[in-house]
Structure 1
Amino acid sequence: MDEKNQTIFGFTLLGLSEKPYLRMPLFSVFMAAYVLCILGNVLILILISTHSQLHTPMYFLLGNLSAADIWLASITIPRTLYSLLSQDLSISFHGCFAQLYLFHMVGNMDSFLLAIMAIDRYAAICRPLHYTAIMSRRTCSGLLISSWIIVNFNATLHTVLTSTLSYCNRIIHHYFCDIPVMLTLSCTDTSTNEMVLFTEGTLLVVAPMLIILCSYVLIIRDILKLCTSKGRQRTFSTCSSHLTVVIIFYSSVIFMYFRPRSLYSEAYDKIISVLYCMITPMLNPFIYTLRNNDIKQAVKKVIQRGSTDGQ
């Protein structure tokens, strides 16, 4: 297929399943998950913006993570819902690579945000007297801006490399345009793409992972110095939500992108991608809400205020 045909006809996204009787059940599940994701993350953003006790670096970063999760879910799920409902499986060439670009930019930003949040937890637990200076608004903003620049460059590079391939097959056995599945459609040599995906992807994933690992090693070291088990439990509880999100996020990303092309599996890739595209963004607000006393107190105040106004 030449470039002209690619541009005109684009690709066909087969979605999660080719069986017609599964479309409505899948639509219902995805719609419910998407609504929960949007409502949960919007609630986090509202609570952080309207409650002064949440105007701290930790919640500033959590707000950014919630915004990124809304964006990440919105890149893939609405298009999937539309396909399930309308049975229109086509996506334009430019639309496909715009989706690929946005997905990798925001997905990598999630990784950077988790690393910055780990630094925040380290500073709060291990350097409490210097916490305000270490995690100032200027420092947080600088880290966020630098991260956006890096992930934008990375997403642009992969999008350009992938879009310049020749595609002999335009049928995508997936529900969104992603690099691994696009490489399987190409009839040209993809070794350069695979090498760049592995090397640069390793840097962008491993570097944040090492930051998180080092932060928690230092945190655990300081926690073990506490005299009482109750003190250790209370201190570590401030990290448990973040650590849970880190484990879910990185386990799925590593499986998806750090393996040989020969191990590509359509079924497993769809399941894993659903985990980090839909399940993780949906669960994050609940994980932070249920395990965070400050957020729970803010929610209680909103409920009490609503009850008072209703009376």
Structure 2
Amino acid sequence: MSSFNTTLEGGFILMGFSDWPHLEHVFFVFISVFYFLTIFGNATIITVSRMDCRLQTPMYFFLNNLSFLDLCYTTSMVPQLLVNISGIDKTMSYAGCMTQFFIALLLGGTECVLLMVMAFTRYAAVCRPLHYTNIMHPLLCHSLAISSWLGGLVNFLTQTSFIMTIPLCGCHLNHFFCDMLVLPKLACEDTGGTEANLFVSGAIILVCPVALILGTYAHIAHAVLKIKSRAGRRKALGTCGSHLMVVFLFYGSAMYTYLQPVHAYSGSEGKFDALFYTIITPMLNPLIYTLRNKDVKRALCKALGRDTNTR
């Protein structure tokens, strides 16, 4: 109990990348650039979508939600990480650590459900094109977005209830943020039952959406095979390809990291895995969704005052 009280008062020391002190300056530059690109890319998508009426569709409504999630998730991690690897301060208060942990759970769970919802919008666009407008009514879109946040909230409450029951001893976290797999390693007692509960709850929030997404795309693939024109197939594949790539990046990295026992988790390896899903994936999402999107390019040119009708 005294160790737990010490943790409450003194907080934690985030080890970050101190195992590789000669690389910390490289990491600082690398992470700063990627963070800027993440902010710029996702903010651009949100701004352009709101400025151009042609982008105020269900697809871009959910893409805006995804961009907002990525902005919040990355911002909850990266500023603290930059302070950490700059050597200014490697400490974090108990309240700050728990707040960061709560935000990560809430936003991560919300994104899991949101990507599943976005798969449904692709199904409606490809398999029910004539009824797409009626199906994806604004009321349904807002309801689905709220449901995504509720799903994230359930994930947050469930896993938080398990973590908060663990008495902590020590203050050195071998990570650059307060992660679900790192906190139990400071436990003062055996946490086998809690670890099992965390694994099951994590598997549910990850595996169930993936299963539904794969089932949805099985129906989409069946519908695409029925399209006779090559142009129609290309359009359908273009509608789904970007979302599938984001699903692969997000769920692939998350399942690789979190679908493993806590005692088998390696902090050294986990830091680099975490860099991928906290920095690189949010930076890539705007590029994946907009790189070959003519509507977004047209809206960007319009926002910049360039005439796109001359070609």
Give the TM-score normalised by structure 2: 0.94
Partner of 2:167: 166
Residues 172-229 of structure 1: CA distance to partner in whole angstroms, max 9, x if unpaired?
1100001111111212122232222122222221221122111111111111111133
Partner of 1:108: 109
Partner of 2:133: 132
Partner of 1:295: 296
Residues 96-130 of structure 1: CA distance to partner in whole angstroms, max 9, x if unpaired?
11111100110111111111110000001101122
Partner of 1:281: 282
- Pairwise CA RMSD: 1.7
Please list every run of 5 or more consecutive structure 2 residues that lacks an aligned counterpart in the other structure: none
Measure, in 1, the Cα distance between the counterparts of 2:8 and 2:266. Answer: 27
Partner of 1:33: 34
1:134-153 correspondence runs (5 A): 134-153=135-154
Residues 75-113 of structure 1: CA distance to partner in whole angstroms, max 9, x if unpaired?
111100111224311111111111111001101111111
Measure, in 2, the Cα distance between the counterparts of 1:31 and 1:8. Answer: 31
Give, in angstroms, the shift of residue 159 of structure 1. 2.4
Partner of 1:181: 182
The answer (yes or no) to whether the contact 1:97–1:159 under 8 Å persists in 2 is no
Give, in angstroms, the shift of residue 267 of structure 1. 2.4
**Secondary structure at 2:182 match in 1:** helix
Residues 306 and 40 from structure 1, CA distance in 2 versus in 1: closer, same or farther, beyond 3 angstroms? farther
Measure, in 2, the Cα distance between the counterparts of 1:198 and 1:297. Answer: 45
Count of residues in correspondence between the two structures: 307
The answer (yes or no) to whether the contact 2:121–2:136 under 8 Å persists in 1 is yes
The answer (yes or no) to whether the contact 1:238–1:292 under 8 Å persists in 2 is no
1:218 paired to 2:219: yes
1:76-95 correspondence runs (5 A): 76-95=77-96
The answer (yes or no) to whether the contact 1:288–1:295 under 8 Å persists in 2 is no
The answer (yes or no) to whether the contact 1:99–1:177 under 8 Å persists in 2 is yes
Measure, in 2, the Cα distance between the counterparts of 1:53 and 1:111. Answer: 27
Measure, in 1, the Cα distance between the counterparts of 2:160 and 2:33. Answer: 31
Measure, in 2, the Cα distance between the counterparts of 1:221 and 1:156. Answer: 38
Residues 194 and 185 from structure 1, CA distance in 2 versus in 1: closer, same or farther, beyond 3 angstroms? same
Measure, in 2, the Cα distance between the counterparts of 1:190 and 1:152. Answer: 24
Give, in angstroms, the shift of residue 151 of structure 1. 1.4
1:97 paired to 2:98: yes
Give, in angstroms, the shift of residue 142 of structure 1. 1.1
